[in-house]
Amino acid sequence: MAIGEVIEAQRPRTLRVPRGGSHSAIFLAAGITGLLSLLPLLFVLYVAVTSGWDTIADLVLRPKVAALLLNTAALLLLVLPLSATLAVACAWLIERTDLPLARLWSWLMVAPLALPAFVHSYAWSAFAPRFHGLGAAVLVSILAYLPFVYLPVAAQLRRLDPALEETAQSMGKAPLAVFFRIVLPQLRLAILGGGLLIGLHLLAEYGLFVLTRFDTFATVIVDQFQSVYNGPSANLLGGVLVLLCLGLLGLETGLRGDERYARVGTGAARQRRRVMLGRWKWPALALLTAFALLSLAVPILTLSRWLIAGGAEIWRLDFILPALGQTATLAFAGAALTTLAALPMAWLTVRAPSRMQKLLEAAHSYVGALPGVIIALALVTVTVNVALPLYQTIATLLFAYALMFLPRALVGLRTSIAQAPVELERAALSLGRKPVSAIWHTTVRLAAPGALASAALVGLGITTELTATLMLAPNGTRTLAMRFWSYTSELDFAAAAPYALLMIVLSIPLVVLLHAKADRADQA
């Protein structure tokens, strides 16, 4: 599940009519990836079956788990409605009113994405050390994840046909009624998609909640994993966490229903008139300024403070350069592997849709919803029990990345393949190329720029991945995120600062890519 997917999902997808001929090699490749994607789910089933009812009752039905469930519920019930409301309000102000500097604000709303969630909470725990618990967890989560729902909502607001609102107005509805009866219902898919993304991140996030001292399933699982490797308790809690993720997915699917809010008709949308804010301009500016201050100014100021306080000493290049090198290597290798793994599926989805293809695609997509801890637990169990030589190797870590970021790569590839005309493939075939070669030299070549962009998104995701990296990386691996994390855990905020800065700088392209993607989405 990736933010790009939420933006894309609202666009009615046009699928090619299936055509004859078998693509057995491609189907086989997609099938292997699909089966491997099922590993984490099989792991959870394996744990549930082999543990026996008594162990499950013992380890799951206890007050600690109830407390974790309560924490998770409180987190979801506070963060999701607040983020949705805030995102809709900000998106409306920026896209629909005469608010000054709208362009700048739309960048500032997305900019928090450049900071990994655990860097946000690092900044807050250094800025206000006494601020922790549920309140801190909720605030920092909103600050870190708001762009996930802001981006699709803003894109959808731009895409709505202004004639709908004008017609409703001419039918005697006051502006407020028009907003609630015409605009808001059409933002539903965007809000649900963004909300699901935030919900899944809340379930998966480790670093943010450790630093705000708020226990969630992810933090407790990692703790237990670090004290007793591969223990049944961590595995069973993992099972509960997977159920929660599936529950969220199911809830979103149920709420979304079978709706299609596409634009009816094909005419060019007219430039819309912006609402005059008048005296509401100042409260509106205050709201956006407050968000920018909390989500950007606090982290940047805190970080600057530690960077200045640390001086030249904290720039231990003998540590930083190897970390940078390792991170870059992992990011490049992981992005390449993930993109290659997603390629067969992406091609099948666009060119040869079928029932089987839908099943395979679902297998590819669901892993993205699973937290990194689950994928890590599954791979640890599998390698320890089945393929010990692979335990704690780079190969296993890259495989984990591929599973985690498969949907992200799939979405980008799907879109760029759909834009390459199928006629070219057919022309290459009729000129005597074998199918795979024909596809490689036409569609894949044309889709390369889009594929590069989605590979970049994957690589950037790997750059700031913490949980699975902590659990799976071979001894001696020290990525930027790991260095940052070990200093932060020792409360050495100054030494951690250069790593935070590097991760932020490396994530800026992510912000630019996502902002551009949302900009383009409304031209569809």
Partner 1 sequence: MLQLSGLTKTYGDQPGVDRVDLAAPSGSRTVIVGPSGSGKTTLLRLIAGFETPDAGNITLDGRPLDTVPPHQRNIAYVAQEGALFPHMSVAENIGFAIPRQASNRESRIDTLLARVGLSAAMKSRRPHELSGGQQQRVALARALAQQPALMLLDEPFSALDTGLREAMRDMVEAVLREAGIASILVTHDQSEALAFADHLVVMRDARIADAGQPQRLYEQPIDIETAKFLGETIIFEAAIRGGVADTPLGPLAVDHSDTAKATILVRPEQVRIAENGTLARILHSSYRGAARRLELECQSAGHFSIDVPAATSLTQGDSVCLAVNGRGHVFRSR
The site for partner 1 (CB under 8 A) is made up of 161, 163-164, 166-175, 178, 181-182, 185-186, 188, 259-267, 273
Half-sphere exposure of 62 (CA within 13 A, CB side): 11
The smaller minimum CB distance to partner 1, of residues 78 and 163, is found at 163
Cβ at position 262, least distance to partner 1 in Å? 6
CA angle 27, 32, 37 (to 5 degrees): 120
Angstrom CA distances, 106 to 87, 95, 196, 271, stand at 11, 8, 22, 18
Cβ at position 148, least distance to partner 1 in Å? 23
Contact 374, 241 (CB under 8 A): yes
Cβ at position 176, least distance to partner 1 in Å? 10
Strands (E), 128-257: none
Which of 43, 406, 69, 86 is CA-nearest to residue 247?
69
The smaller minimum CB distance to partner 1, of residues 19 and 260, is found at 260
The smaller minimum CB distance to partner 1, of residues 191 and 377, is found at 191
The smaller minimum CB distance to partner 1, of residues 275 and 452, is found at 275
The smaller minimum CB distance to partner 1, of residues 172 and 432, is found at 172
Cβ at position 207, least distance to partner 1 in Å? 39
The smaller minimum CB distance to partner 1, of residues 276 and 388, is found at 276
Angstrom CA distances, 462 to 54, 75, 294, 455, 495, stand at 39, 26, 26, 11, 22
Cβ at position 212, least distance to partner 1 in Å? 38
Helices (H), 111-133: 117-127
Cβ at position 428, least distance to partner 1 in Å? 36
Cβ at position 285, least distance to partner 1 in Å? 24
The smaller minimum CB distance to partner 1, of residues 107 and 180, is found at 180
Cβ burial, residue 18 (10 Å; 0-12/13-18/19+): exposed
Which of 260, 264, 353, 521 is CA-nearest to residue 15?
353
Which of 315, 116, 79 is CA-nearest to residue 203?
79
Q: Locate 165 and state its tokens.
A: 């609102």
Cβ at position 163, least distance to partner 1 in Å? 4
The smaller minimum CB distance to partner 1, of residues 49 and 176, is found at 176
What 3-state DSSP class applies to 522? coil
Residue 165 backbone dihedrals phi, psi, to 5 degrees: -70, -40
Cβ at position 21, least distance to partner 1 in Å? 32
Angstrom CA distances, 190 to 26, 78, 166, 186, 290, stand at 33, 19, 22, 8, 24
The smaller minimum CB distance to partner 1, of residues 23 and 188, is found at 188
* Residues whose CB falls within 8 Å of the CB of residue 297, separated by 6 or more in sequence, listed in order: none
Cβ at position 268, least distance to partner 1 in Å? 10
Residue 466 backbone dihedrals phi, psi, to 5 degrees: -115, -50
The smaller minimum CB distance to partner 1, of residues 178 and 400, is found at 178
Q: Locate 460 and state its tokens.
A: 């950037």
- CA separation for the pair 496, 481 (Å, rounded): 10
* Residues whose CB falls within 8 Å of the CB of residue 12, separated by 6 or more in sequence, listed in order: 260, 262
